[in-house]
Amino acid sequence: MIKKAYVDTPSGQIHYYYGGPADQTPIIFMHQNVSGAKTYLPTLTQLAEKHHCIALDLPGFGGSFDPPEFDSISRLQEYTLEFIDALGIQEFHTFGNHTGAAMAAEMASLYPDRVKTCMMMGATLLTEEQAVPFRETFSGSVGPSHDAAYLKITWDYIYKLGGNLDLDNMNDELSAALRAWKVRGMIYRCVWDYRFDLFIQGIKCPTLLICAPDDVLYIGHQNTAAALPHAKVVDVRGTNFEPYFDPDGVSRGIIEFLADSGFA
């Protein structure tokens, strides 16, 4: 059973989901921009049979506190480390999706004694030329308006990213995006300038790169695989919502990778 809880951190209260054997090294799941921790539930349900799983709502998302204005993804990483410390966790695995993947890499680079493995879905390694359309397409967010136009704009945004494949998921992702409209803009203003290229150079632990070929950041996934030739690379299904649409493939990829890395 996957349960929900809150923990107090120095910066504010964090909401999270958790499950699985507590005597195992936990996997810390960090979600992508727009989504929330709920997007991981189908995958967590399968993984928790073997592994201790913790998925947090990043600050500004879901049930977590609203952060002050920030201009670096590193600030979200710092909040996440506060969350991990508040739970009394010393060693852990990182799993991040899109923006969360960048955070996973930063943690693995900065805290090699604590991060046992680094798992990234839709890693964000892009050339300056490749980053141009991302800056244009994913830039800011639309907030509440009296004519409610922001509802349709946000719906269309998620629908085109793959939400059209399942209306239940579409509804969850829409709710998550509407709740997080302020922080979404903060992230998009800084994520494409994030020095992910520098952080991946510092990753020394076993690394998994996992992504769907129709994910918008598959090119970043491929670039990261080329930069990290010793990483395990796995393709799954599910457009930009792989943990929801392909929990079998994602959980299997994680289980096999951790077993190969000595964490059966």
CATH code at position 83: 3.40.50.1820
Residue 175 placed within a domain = no
pLDDT greater than 90 at residue 94 = yes
Residue 114 placed within a domain = yes
How many helices (H) and strands (E) would you count in the chain?
11, 8
Residue-level pLDDT at 138: 87
- What does each C-alpha distance from 41 to 86, 150, 252 come to in angstroms? 22, 27, 15
Helix (H, G, I), strand (E, B) or coil at 128: helix
Cα–Cα nearest to 43, from 214, 262, 232, 241: 241
- What does each C-alpha distance from 263 to 96, 118, 259 come to in angstroms? 18, 13, 5
- pLDDT (tens digit, 9 = 90+) per residue, 154-208? 999 999 999 889 999 999 999 999 999 999 999 999 999 898 999 999 999 999 9
Residue 67 placed within a domain = yes
Number of domain units in the chain? 1
Percentage, residues of the chain above pLDDT 70: 100
Q: Which amino acid is at 131?
A: A
Residue 240 placed within a domain = yes
Residue 154 placed within a domain = no
Q: Do the beta carbons of residue 73 and residue 124 sit within 8 Å? A: no
CA distance 246 to 254: 12
Residue 101 placed within a domain = yes
Please provide the DSSP assignment of 58-110 as one string.
PTTSTTSPPPPP-S-HHHHHHHHHHHHHHTT--SEEEEEETHHHHHHHHHHHH
Residue 227 placed within a domain = yes
Residue 171: DSSP 8-state: H
Percentage, residues of the chain above pLDDT 90: 91
Residue 142: DSSP 8-state: -
pLDDT greater than 90 at residue 10 = yes
Residue 24: DSSP 8-state: S
Residue-level pLDDT at 137: 87
CA distance 215 to 237: 9
CA distance 100 to 34: 11
Residue 144 placed within a domain = no
Helix (H, G, I), strand (E, B) or coil at 242: helix
Residue 32: DSSP 8-state: P
CA distance 39 to 244: 6
Q: Please report how the helices 99-110 and 73-86 are oriented relative to each other, as an axis angle in degrees rounded to 10.
A: 70
pTM of the model: 0.96
The set of residues, in sequence order, having a beta carbon less than 8 Å from that of 225 and lying 6+ positions away, is 209, 231, 233
pLDDT greater than 90 at residue 241 = yes
- Residue range(s) defining the domain that contains residue 8: 3-127+194-260
pLDDT greater than 80 at residue 140 = no
Helix (H, G, I), strand (E, B) or coil at 35: coil
| CA of residue 165 relative to chain centroid, distance | 20
